[in-house]
A and B are shown apart, each in its own frame.
Chain A
Amino acid sequence: DVKVTQSSRYLVKRTGEKVFLECVQDMDHENMFWYRQDPGLGLRLIYFSYDVKMKEKGDIPEGYSVSREKKERFSLILESASTNQTSMYLCASRMLRGSQPQHFGDGTRLSIL
């Protein structure tokens, strides 16, 4: 079974802080993704990566950056946290080839005060 692990289930930070969300997968997947989920808006893609050190902007990248130094780890960075970044953050991974589903972690509920 694929295991996608997000480092924190719940996180509370203050406005202006730099916030790091970590995600690790154990299946040697090339693709990794960061989403946020908000009520009524579904899952929106922030950033994704299809290889080490490769990253591409998703649909809502503003205020975020990412890092992929190792294949198994994909980090999401909030450069200067703001209250509108309070959300559920979900990490996912999948194989590069074929029609395979993305596998998700359990999410990080982030509150910015």
Chain B
Amino acid sequence: DQQVKQNSPSLSVQEGRISILNCDYTNSMFDYFLWYKKYPAEGPTFLISISSIKDKNEDGRFTVFLNKSAKHLSLHIVPSQPGDSAVYFCAARDVYGGATNKLIFGTGTLLAVQP
């Protein structure tokens, strides 16, 4: 059963516009959420995170929103740039995971930013 879902396998956006990537989760015990960016033939790179006690976190062009009642997470990229073209994974950590610090990953969304 997929606890973290990214229902859009791909997204295409024009350069300069906003990119919105979405993520849904089912486990209300998740306490920490992250977004990673992955280029082909490279490992995922950490982008931004948010704790479950917050509803928004911003870092430059990247903002993550958390709606706990809807169990929904979104990443906004404004303005989008061609270099943002990559696969984006959302991930979540279970508060009861303890020392394991396991993350549950979504299946990823391929973002293509058109010049």
Query: Which positions in B face A, CB cutoff 8 Å?
Result: 6, 9, 32, 34, 36, 41-46, 49, 51, 89, 91, 93, 99-103, 105-108
**B8 → A minimal CB distance (Å):** 13
Decide: A56 and B100 in contact? CB cutoff 8 A: yes
Instruction: Judge whether B46 and A58 touch: CB under 8 Å.
Output: no
Task: Judge whether B107 and A107 touch: CB under 8 Å.
Answer: no
14 A–B contacts, CB within 8 A, in A order: A31-B100, A42-B89, A43-B105, A45-B102, A48-B102, A50-B101, A90-B43, A90-B44, A92-B43, A99-B32, A99-B93, A102-B46, A107-B41, A107-B42
* A12 CA / B101 CA spacing, docked (Å): 32
Known: A101-B34, A101-B36. 7 other contacts (CB 8 A): A31-B99, A42-B108, A43-B89, A44-B105, A45-B103, A92-B43, A106-B41
Question: How many residues in A have their beta carbons less than 8 Å from beta carbons of B?
Answer: 29
Q: Is the interface of A mostly helix, strand, loop or mixed?
A: strand
Question: Do B43 and A4 touch (CB < 8 A)?
Answer: yes
* Interface residues of A, Cβ cutoff 8 Å to B: 4, 9, 30-31, 33, 35, 40-45, 48, 50, 56, 58, 90, 92, 94, 96, 99, 101-107, 109
Complex CA–CA separation, A107 to B42 (angstroms): 6
Residue of A whose beta carbon sits closest to that of B33: A99
